[in-house]
Amino acid sequence: PYYLGNLFYDKRQYDDAIAYWELSAELDGQFPTTLRNLGIAYFNKRNDEHKALACFEKAFALDPSDDRLCMELHQLYKRLNRSPEERKAFLEANLNTALERDDIYLEWVSIHNFLGEYDKALDMITKRQFHPWEGGEGKASGQYVFSLVEIAKERIQALDFAGAIELLTRAQTYPYNLGEGKLFGAQENEIFYWLGCAYEALNDIDTANSYFIKATEGLDEPSAAVFYNDQQPDKIFYQGLAWDKLGRQDKAASIFTKLISYSGQHLNDNIKIDYFAVSLPNLLIFEDDLDIRNKVHCLFMKGLGHLGLDETEAAEQSFSKVLELDSEHLGAKIHSIMPIQQKKV
């Protein structure tokens, strides 16, 4: 019955597939793959989160050395919005298995970054050789840059401006071990903005302004961000901050207002991807709710707009809503704790 379940699932006869896999599990409840397949079918075709989770947890308990099962169970925890702390504990309890795959290793790195353990995250990234995979584009480099920028911001707060400059300069070059190069035209607005702040603090105004000018470059029209190389709203946010530093408060206010306006217009959009697409941000084992993802995107954008306008209470409300829907949203986390004074270093 296990093989019949596979056949019927391939032919999109999902009810028959589930029935045969259930029969297979009754006959032999010790075969993890049957339970794993049932878990995917329950989640994606029956919208039954509880049965899906029970199947996956039992499957992984039967074979805790299966690195793919470990990755998929963690993805299910993440899809169910389990807290980063809870998922970190799961990965650390199954560390040997988690270390086998780049994708789940980077999930572990991301959790460290989310929890503010930037030095630990950077150390984890620099000591591993990553390999490219479909759906993983930009993940290793994204965590690498994020770690360096956040450590640099800490250096700025500690008045170690030279140290911050070194880290931000380093963030512009991807080391070989990341397994991917930097895309042509990659937007690095946050890097240039913080470089400008560091040089401004050193009273090197000409160099500071040159970086602020670079930080204003790029598209400044908000849009949906479905693929990993789409324009992200925080890039636009740092454009606005840079314009403010250059004395163009009118331009900055216009950018921040556009972020808020876009959010209001598109918060409740019905999102569909009705064509074959590569480079989606995640390996989609479990069907994603694109409407919720869009809501998260718009709320984050709204929070950034309010933060740029110094409307900190409204910004915090938006970021809190983002974190309710996505408990490991790095952007909402770092900007919700970004002191307004930090923009004016």
Report pLDDT digits (tens) over 242-257. 999 999 999 999 999 9
The answer to the question of residue 140 being in a domain is no
Quote the pTM value: 0.92
Question: Is 109 a domain residue?
Answer: no
> Domain range for residue 55?
2-82
> Which of 36, 58, 82 lies at the terminal end of a domain, its last residue?
82
- Two structure tokens written together for 335: 């900007």
Q: What is the pLDDT of residue 134?
A: 76
Q: Bin 174: left if φ > 0, else alpha if -120 < ψ < 50, else beta.
A: beta
What CA–CA distance (Å, rounded) separates 205 from 284? 47
The one-letter amino acid at 138: G
Dihedral of the alpha carbons of 101, 102, 105, 110, in degrees to the nearest 10: -150
Q: What's the confidence (pLDDT) of residue 290? A: 86
The verdict on residue 204 lying in a domain is: no
Give start and end residues of each alpha helix (H) in the chain.
2-10, 14-27, 32-46, 49-62, 67-79, 84-93, 95-98, 102-114, 118-126, 139-157, 161-170, 189-201, 205-215, 233-245, 249-266, 290-308, 312-325, 330-336
* In a domain? residue 295: yes
Residues of the chain with pLDDT under 70: 225-230, 273-283, 339-345
State the pLDDT at residue 341.
42
In a domain, 227, yes or no: yes
pLDDT of residue 344: 45
Amino acid 228: pLDDT = 58
Does some domain include residue 198? no
Q: How many domains does the chain have?
A: 2
CATH number where 27 lies: 1.25.40.10
**pLDDT score, position 224:** 81
Q: Where is the domain boundary, 42, 63, 82?
A: 82
- Among 82, 98, 128, where does a domain finish? 82
- With respect to residue 174, please indicate whether it lies within any of the assigned structural domains: no
